[in-house]
Amino acid sequence: MNPLPIGDATLEIFTGDLTSLEVDAIVNAANTSLLGGGGVDGAIHRAAGPGLLEECRGLNGCETGDAKITGGYDLPAKHVIHAVGPVWYGGQKGEAEKLASCYRRALELAGEHRLKSIAFPAISCGVYAFPLDQAARIATRTVAELCRERVASVTRVIFCCFGGDVTKAYEEALDELAPRM
């Protein structure tokens, strides 16, 4: 699938490991403690080395729907933006708004640090059990809105998909989006 141009940015899909990407920031699907965990969070901490956990200890955690930024340490990415997605409780507990807020806050932080390239995992789509198709639509729409309004500083947004089912959901979400942009 070709990158989708929106505003000053392009949105693209990459299938593979987020920790391999040489970008200004990768986004972590963290928990409120910001002290590590499994899934992509575990992979990021393993690849970044102990300096990342050390910096995270000083951040005092993070609320659901919010994000905080650190260095990238041993990662090829310069920064890590730790976003805390919602746990899926069935959809009536503000899950969609909180997930959109993660993407918005991550792009705002990228803007404050004048970052140009950013890569997101499918936040909340693993352990937190957010339905994949809905999450992919929220992720792509929220990012596209900020890029279209030229609120975001980034020129390259990568949706990093770990596995074919995730890639398919994002391809469909971007397909839905394309005619409206």
Residue 125 CB contacts under 8 Å (≥ 6 apart), including other chains: 132, 135, 166
Residue 127, interface with ligand AR6 (CB under 6 A)?
yes
Helix (H) or strand (E) segment spanning residue 173:
helix 164-177
Contact between 124 and ligand AR6 per CB under 6 A: yes
Cα–Cα distance, 111 to 82 (Å, whole number): 15
User: Using the rule CB under 6 A, which residue among 115, 122, 146, 173 binds ligand AR6?
Assistant: 122
Site map 22..61 versus ligand AR6, x via CB under 6 A: -------xxx-----xxxxx-x------------------
Q: Does 159 bind ligand AR6 (CB under 6 A)?
A: no
Taking the least distance from each CB to ligand AR6, the nearer of 7 and 24 is: 24
User: Does the protein bind ligand AR6 through residue 85 (CB under 6 A)?
Assistant: yes
Q: Looking at residue 22, what DSSP letter applies?
A: -
What single-letter DSSP state applies at residue 38? S
Q: How far apart are CA 160 and CA 12, in angstroms?
A: 9
Return d(Cα 138, Cα 30) in angstroms, integer. Answer: 18
Q: Does 86 bind ligand AR6 (CB under 6 A)?
A: no
Binding footprint of ligand AR6 on the chain (CB under 6 A): 17-19, 29-31, 37-41, 43, 85, 121-128, 160, 162-163, 166
